[in-house]
């Protein structure tokens, strides 16, 4: 990393590297931008401003010796911006459809997004359904079972998340990462062959445990940081956040 601009978490490592385009869709104010911000920067803003058009962010994760780079398009939620959406989901390998568990309408909207993606998205698109704002369970309007049943019916990933508490945020993206075919791997000689991930369930067994141990997460994290250009506080904050996420998951 040269001295240009603000330092980023996504200064990708040099190992085997796959790039994936991921798009976030969903009704406005369900927390799309917040999820991305939590995943990419480990931050949360109560008054996250609305997204106009779309915003772009990247994040890399290390999964089984492979560096996966997510190129994330975070789209505007307002229905008016709908016409722009195909521009972003076309050619995407993954899509996260977000709804707000405290608002039934947003779930209905999420379903229409899933339908649209099934119709117009690329055939191998990995779709994940995220019920966000899980920290506000006392105001829940969408039951987790309902969403889960829907997700199973559509055979898409499902998780309830909270960008505010970081619950399941990283796991959601990691689960997506595991489902993504990694055949675009560059020939760097690192790791195994390019087609290891075929059966997601099998993969779960293989790597699931180590993914949620703080140790590996820590390793994942440090590998993507160039510590020289970071302030200690930044790094510390991110690590703390990751570890606490793991803690929640392990519990």
Closer Cβ to another protein, 23 or 197, answer by number? 23
Q: Give the SS3 label for residue 135.
A: helix
In angstroms, what is the minimal distance from the CB of 146 to another protein? Answer: 20
Smallest gap, in angstroms, from Cβ of residue 105 to another protein?
9
d(CA 188, CA 17) in angstroms, rounded, equals 8
Burial of 231 (0-12, 13-18, 19+ CB in 10 A): exposed
Beta-strand ranges (E) seen in the chain are 17-26, 54-63, 66-75, 94-100, 126-132, 157-160
Which residues would be at the binding site for another protein (CB under 8 A)?
A: 4-6, 8, 28-29, 46-58, 71, 76-78, 80-81, 83-84, 87, 102, 133, 136, 139
Q: Which is nearer to another protein, 50 or 202 (CB)?
A: 50
H-run or E-run covering 206 = helix 200-211
Q: Which of 112, 226, 102 is nearest to 164 (CA)?
A: 102
Least distance (Å) from another protein to the CB of residue 98?
14
The residue (of 8 and 182) whose beta carbon lies closer to another protein is: 8
CB of residue 35 to another protein, shortest distance in Å: 15
Q: Which is nearer to another protein, 3 or 189 (CB)?
A: 3
């Amino acid at each position: 990393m040269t001295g240009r601009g603000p330092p980023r978490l996504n200064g990708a490592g040099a190992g085997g590297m796959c790039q994936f385009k991921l798009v976030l869709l969903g009704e406005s104010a369900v927390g799309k931008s917040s999820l991305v911000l939590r995943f990419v920067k480990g931050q949360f803003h109560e008054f996250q401003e609305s997204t106009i058009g779309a915003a772009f962010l990247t994040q890399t994760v290390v999964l089984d010796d492979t560096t996966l780079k997510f190129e994330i398009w975070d789209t505007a939620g307002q229905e008016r911006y709908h016409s722009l959406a195909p521009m972003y989901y076309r050619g995407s390998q993954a899509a996260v459809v977000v709804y707000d568990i405290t608002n039934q309408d947003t779930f209905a909207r999420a379903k229409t997004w899933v339908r649209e993606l099934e119709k117009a998205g690329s055939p191998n698109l990995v779709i994940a359904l995220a019920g966000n704002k899980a920290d506000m369970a006392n105001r829940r309007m969408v039951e987790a079972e309902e969403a889960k049943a829907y997700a199973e019916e559509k055979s898409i990933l499902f998780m309830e998340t909270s960008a505010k508490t970081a619950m399941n945020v990283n796991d959601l993206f990691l689960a997506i990462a595991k489902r993504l075919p990694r055949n675009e791997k560059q020939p760097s000689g690192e790791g195994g062959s390019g087609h290891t991930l075929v059966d997601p369930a099998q993969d779960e067994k293989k790597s699931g445990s180590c993914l949620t141990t703080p140790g590996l997460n820590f390793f994942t994290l440090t590998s993507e940081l160039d510590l020289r250009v970071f302030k200690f506080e930044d790094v510390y904050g991110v690590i703390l956040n990751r570890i606490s996420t793991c803690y929640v998951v392990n519990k």
